[in-house]
Structure 1
Amino acid sequence: MVSEFEKIEKPEGPPRIAGARAVRPKDAATLILVRRDGAAPRILMGRRSGGHSFMPNLWVFPGGRVDRADYRAPHGTDLRAEVAATFEAHASAARGRALALAAIRETFEEAGLLLARPAPARPAAGPWREFLAHGALPDLAAVEILARAVTPPAIGKRFDTWFLMADAERLMSLDRRPDSGELEEIGWFTHDEALSLPLPQITRGMVRETLARLEHPERPRPYMRFRHGAVRIDAL
């Protein structure tokens, strides 16, 4: 399948130590929020701190690694049947749900936004404590799958990342709650504006993929991997 990912030649990240075995990729998920309340769709992006050793000062979508707590976090709605089926073609049902929950949690932690349904506040421990304290339960039904990308074996820090999308109208509010500060600033950008920002290569590809998905909802969902140093694109 044709994809912008075929232009990616040298993915960002520290190289693997010479002679060492390839690192097993860690499960991760990213959430692309789309606003449709203007003349053109806008997507949420945030700038990483200049103090980060990995991709400093670059603009990215909120997201991160799956935490063990994501496997048991409560949720207000469940994944839509077609989304669950796509996950389950590649992973267990529990893993697919955890990936979606991780993307929603990280969006709250990094951008202070709740993709959630109102619910009574409840006590909790661990990474979900502050989210649930806001009187919110994750809205998994709002999530759809955009793409999947696995960092190549030559990179020392590897991720198996699922890129997810959701309409910003499903947020409890566009007003930010206090967040972790990992993203130094956030903003809503048209696709042309986003492409003018300093972006990692994979993020640039996902910006274009988001626009293609909005224009053609039935577009195949790309699955990007590397084989023998070359990009391989399949459909999920």
Structure 2
Amino acid sequence: MSHAPGEPPIRDAATMMLLRRSAAGASILMGMRGATAAFMPSKYVFPGGAVDAEDAGAMLARGIGEPHRRRLMAEPRNGQPADPDAIAAAALRELAEETGLLIGTADGPHSGWPGYAETGISPDAGTLVYLFRAITPPGRPRRFDAHFLVADAAAIAGDPDDFGRACDELSHLHWVPLAEARALNLPFITEVVLAELAELVHAVPHHADLPLPDTVPFFDNRGPAPRFAQIA
């Protein structure tokens, strides 16, 4: 389905939800978009952005695993399945650009991305978890098919509190207690995704791997009427 006349095209986007867990509780990394931003100004969001053409050829130590790969390819737009590794690569790249934090390994192909190139770390999507998908409704200045991925902060290569390499796209970067995050000035969809994340990890020990969601909720706004689906 092509975009309607007068509507901006829908672009794939990747969002990284970085979760930090300890015996004291869980926190999520968030930052605030600028007041003059064209999309979601002054809102607290997760690091992320549009998938670039170059992301399809990114050199990763590992691509994203199953069933996340299959789920990312489900419900294709215009009959063309999404590229799971490009989406995962975009999430890792945007995380590095907007926060300076890297998820990767020293044992992998060289990456030219800022942060990765200087440290010799190869981006690694092997532990990412696909949690949520939402297409921006019509009438917005920009429209995205947004894929929300979760990573455990234990996978960060380096200091999780060092944002010294971050660009200036997000301000007030900080770890927000998961139980308090929904009190921030958030886009509606971010509130919904936070509730999904809290439900996913609430009974899981902090030292355990991130669990696999039973399904991926999908807010589909491609057509004239909103549609809600579950990607199994």
Say which of 104, 114, 124 aligns to 2:92: 104
Residues 1:79 and 2:74 are matched in the alignment = no
Q: What is the rounded CA distance, in whole Å, between the counterparts of 2:50 and 2:148 in structure 1? A: 12
Aligned length: 216
Q: What is the rounded CA distance, in whole Å, between the counterparts of 2:217 and 2:107 in structure 1? A: 35
Q: Per-residue deviation at 1:123?
A: 7.1
Query: Contact 2:128–2:150 (CA<8 Å) still a contact in 1?
Result: yes
> TM-score normalised to the size of structure 2?
0.83
- Change in 2 beyond 3 A, CA 1:119/1:101: same
Q: Per-residue deviation at 1:119?
A: 4.6
Deviation readout 1:81-123 (Å, 9 max, x if unpaired): 2222222334578711100110110011001110111258957
Residues 164-203 of structure 1 aligned to structure 2 (within 5 Å): 164-173=149-158, 174=160, 175-203=162-190
Deviation readout 1:112-159 (Å, 9 max, x if unpaired): 1101112589574xxx25432321111111111001000122323110
SS in 2 for 1:195: helix
Partner of 2:128: 143
Query: Contact 1:45–1:188 (CA<8 Å) still a contact in 2?
Result: yes
Query: Contact 1:113–1:177 (CA<8 Å) still a contact in 2?
Result: no
Partner of 1:117: 105
SS in 2 for 1:181: coil
Structure 2's unaligned 5+ residue stretches are 204-210
Q: What is the rounded CA distance, in whole Å, between the counterparts of 2:74 and 2:222 in structure 1? A: 21
> TM-score normalised to the size of structure 1?
0.82
Task: Compare 140-149 and 185-194 and name the one that shifted more.
Answer: 185-194
Deviation readout 1:195-228 (Å, 9 max, x if unpaired): 1111111111111111112237444210101376
SS in 2 for 1:166: strand
Partner of 1:11: none
Query: Contact 2:99–2:163 (CA<8 Å) still a contact in 1?
Result: yes
Structure 1's unaligned 5+ residue stretches are 1-15
Give the aligned residue type for 1:157. R
Residues 1:211 and 2:206 are matched in the alignment = no
- Change in 2 beyond 3 A, CA 1:208/1:53: same
Task: Compare 29-38 and 162-171 and name the one that shifted more.
Answer: 29-38
Query: Contact 1:33–1:44 (CA<8 Å) still a contact in 2?
Result: yes
Amino-acid identity (%):
34
Q: What is the rounded CA distance, in whole Å, between the counterparts of 2:23 and 2:163 in structure 1? A: 19
Partner of 2:207: none
Query: Contact 1:84–1:93 (CA<8 Å) still a contact in 2?
Result: no
Deviation readout 1:143-195 (Å, 9 max, x if unpaired): 11001000122323110000010110011021334121111121111223211
Q: What is the rounded CA distance, in whole Å, between the counterparts of 2:229 and 2:82 in structure 1? A: 23
Partner of 1:162: 147
Task: Compare 178-187 and 211-220 and name the one that shifted more.
Answer: 211-220
- Change in 2 beyond 3 A, CA 1:119/1:191: same
Query: Contact 1:191–1:208 (CA<8 Å) still a contact in 2?
Result: no
SS in 1 for 2:22: coil
Partner of 2:50: 65
Query: Contact 1:121–1:133 (CA<8 Å) still a contact in 2?
Result: no
Q: Greater helix share, 1 or 2?
A: 1
Query: Contact 1:115–1:172 (CA<8 Å) still a contact in 2?
Result: yes
Partner of 1:221: 216
Q: Per-residue deviation at 1:38?
A: 4.1
Residues 1:45 and 2:40 are matched in the alignment = no
Deviation readout 1:5-49 (Å, 9 max, x if unpaired): xxxxxxxxxxx9xx9443320010001011112411111111112
- Change in 2 beyond 3 A, CA 1:38/1:27: same
